[in-house]
Amino acid sequence: RSQLSSCYLTTVPDNLDGIYESIKENALLSKFAGGLGNDWTRVRALGSHIKGTNGESQGVVPFLKVVNDTAVAVNQGGKRKGAVCTYLESWHLDIEEFLELRKNTGDDRRRTHDMNTANWIPDLFMRRVMEKGDWTLFSPSDCPDLHDRFGKDFEKAYVAYEQKAERGEIKPSRKVPATDLWRKMLSMLFETGHPWITFKDACNVRSPQQHAGVVHSSNLCTEITLNTSDTETAVCNLGSINLLRHICNGEIDHAKLQRTIATAMRMLDNVIDINYYAVKKARDSNLRHRPVGLGVMGFQDCLYELHIPYASPEAVDFADRSMEAICYYAYWASTDLARERGKYASYKGSLWDRGVLPLDTLDLLAGERGGYVEVDRSSTLDWDALRRKIATDGMRNSNCVAIAPTATISNIIGVDASIEPCFGNLSVKSNLSGEFTIINAYLVRDLKRLGLWDDVMVMDLKHFDGSLRPIDRVPKELKALYATAFEVEPQWLVQAAARRQKWIDQAQSLNIYMAGASGKKLDETYKLAWISGLKTTYYLRTMGATHAEKSTIKAGRLNAVSTHGEHQESASAMDAAAASARAQMAAAPATDIKFCAIDDPGCEACQ
């Protein structure tokens, strides 16, 4: 069956029929190769009253165990593992137990080892953290309207519920210092890689479709921000531009980029009509709003081609200019399609219809937050011309741009994934198709030019996990240009992402790489992400505290790639001294000893 869509988003109601219907829907969508994002915020908390039985609810966690096992039982079309991410808002009374779902200790019946989780965080919570205030936790059965509110509207309702709780009119509820809950969020993120940090209000205030509903969650990879309801399952069709093929003579080839994007947008729009839908709610939603998600890959390759280090203001500026061009031409292509094929059904009343473009929504966000938005607002293209064209022709697609992980397709065409920094100049990727050795061809080219590419260099790269930093004979300029992901300070990743986000009508899969992670560094990085106007973040990737020593002995076997835990190396250990090992390196040709791929090869990004 021609199931060509990538992502599905659902919201789960607070009744038994709806809960198990949602789990069934997960199974059907996963069967036909869809990645899933579920919003579970409406399901009442542990200890809440159940009118039908006059009993107490067991909360959201036992149901999430069923979701986890369903994802394991029903894989994605037999091609890769079933994958789902569950989202919960930060005021839910079960939030603290939700944070611990991926822990390896505790009652295993209340753990979900195979499922992803994400925090859906309102701006009011972040302001309470910044201002060191208190935060009150509720069961959604006592304040059901909070689920559909955002911005100042959410704050007004939330504060009213807090006052009721203070008077003892809402039970159960619990007050905690906001900084304590934030600290626990970051601690669990560091310990387990989950739940991811995503921001509810940035997704909603900046959504062009806020007139048609509410964004209740993102998707499996945190780049899709579409409305969901009891009658609509959000669907997104993804494609990605190979940005490297649009660099010519040190500049972006705008004419070629525009032609490529026009073709890509037409193809993605066609998918909506020819797609097979396993669930009727998904078909209805997709045909009504017609969202697509055009993204990018090969960003790091472009920086190599332009000789720009990732950790530099020039890289941030390139992220800004390249994403501005991609978004401009994507929106232009959609309005061209609207003139040819007609506007999408829910266009009337959208931000597009009102002449508000993604760049303009930064001011809307700052207004709702009362500040706390620090993003460069500069532009280089004629956005007023685009506004006039949209006013005349409308839009074919409610949403046009989203940056997905592109982990497999980027490998196939030979560029670095998505907007990622290079993970390692020599590394191994593992998925259900097998294991793939990845070498940085740009680095090899430059080392050959300098006469530095030899067997010793190959073994040095293996020994130092693909890093140039400890290799003395490599020039500083090359070390900066070919710095690996863990050698790039996370602030550069966030700053580049903020420049992209100002143009994007959806979001981006932004992994945060952090060497030497600490509570202070985590706190600063994720607060910076919020203040920079980001809608979502993805995995936090940290380095392990210990590493196995690399062997230089020819083993005559395929390498093994670790499949669990944080960044670890999988290699034979030996008790030889370093000097002896270096002597063997010089004497023997390069061996096939591999070390680790990214943290979890079972995750969607690593697939």
pLDDT tens by residue, 164-203 = 999 989 889 999 999 999 999 999 999 888 999 999 999 9
What 3-state class would DSSP assign to 330?
Answer: helix
Strand ranges in 359-446 using DSSP code E only, listed in sequence order? 426-431, 434-439
pLDDT of residue 166: 92
Cα distances from 446 to residues 324, 472, 478, in angstroms, run 30, 16, 8
Cα–Cα dist 39/18, whole Å: 13
Residue 159's CB is within 10 A of a number of other CB atoms, namely 12
Query: Exactly one of 221, 302, 596, 606 is catalytic; which is it?
Result: 221
DSSP, collapsed to helix, strand or coil, labels residue 238 as: strand
Residue 221: active-site member: yes
Question: In sequence order, what E strands does 40-115 have?
Answer: 46-50, 55-58, 84-89
Residue 546 CA to residue 284 CA, distance in Å, equals 51
Cα(118)–Cα(185) distance, integer angstroms: 10
Q: Are 91 and 138 in contact (CB under 8 A)?
A: yes
d(CA 173, CA 47): 10
Helical residues (DSSP H) of 490-545, grouped into ranges: 490-501, 519-531
pLDDT of residue 31: 85
Give the separation between CA 338 and CA 332, rounded to whole angstroms: 10
Q: Tell me if 231 sits within 8 A of 12, measured CB to CB.
A: no
Question: Which pLDDT score is estimated for 431?
Answer: 66
| Whole-number Å distance between alpha carbons of 227 and 218 | 9
What is the residue type of 422? C
The answer to whether 252 and 244 have CB atoms below 8 angstroms apart is no
* 459 contacts 553 by C-beta, under 8 angstroms: no
* Rounded Cα gap, residues 260 and 329, in angstroms: 9
Long-range contacts of 11-18 (CB under 8 A, 24+ apart): 11/38, 11/39, 11/41, 11/42, 11/216, 11/217, 11/228, 11/229, 11/230, 12/38, 12/39, 12/40, 12/42, 12/43, 13/42, 13/43, 13/230, 14/42, 14/43, 14/44, 14/140, 14/141, 14/144, 18/230
The residues that bridge with 46 in the sheet, in sequence order, are 58
CA distance 28 to 59: 25
Question: Is 219 a known active-site residue?
Answer: yes
Per annotation, catalytic residue among 68, 119, 219, 397:
219
Written as six digits, the tokens of 590 are: 């390069």
Catalytic pick from 97, 223, 566, 604?
Answer: 223
pLDDT value of residue 598: 39
Quick one: how far is CA 202 from the chain centroid? 15
* pLDDT of res. 544: 62
Token pair in block for residue 436 = 């793939």
Q: Which residues contact 377 (CB under 8 A, 6 or more apart)?
A: 359, 362, 502
Nearest to 43 by CA among 4, 107, 80, 88: 88
pLDDT at 77: 66
d(CA 217, CA 215): 6
Confidence (pTM): 0.86
Structure tokens at 178: 């906001």
Distances (CA, A) of 205 to 176, 191, 225: 27, 31, 11
Contact status, residue 124 vs residue 158, Cβ threshold 8 Å: yes
Residues of the chain with pLDDT under 70: 76-80, 431-432, 544-607
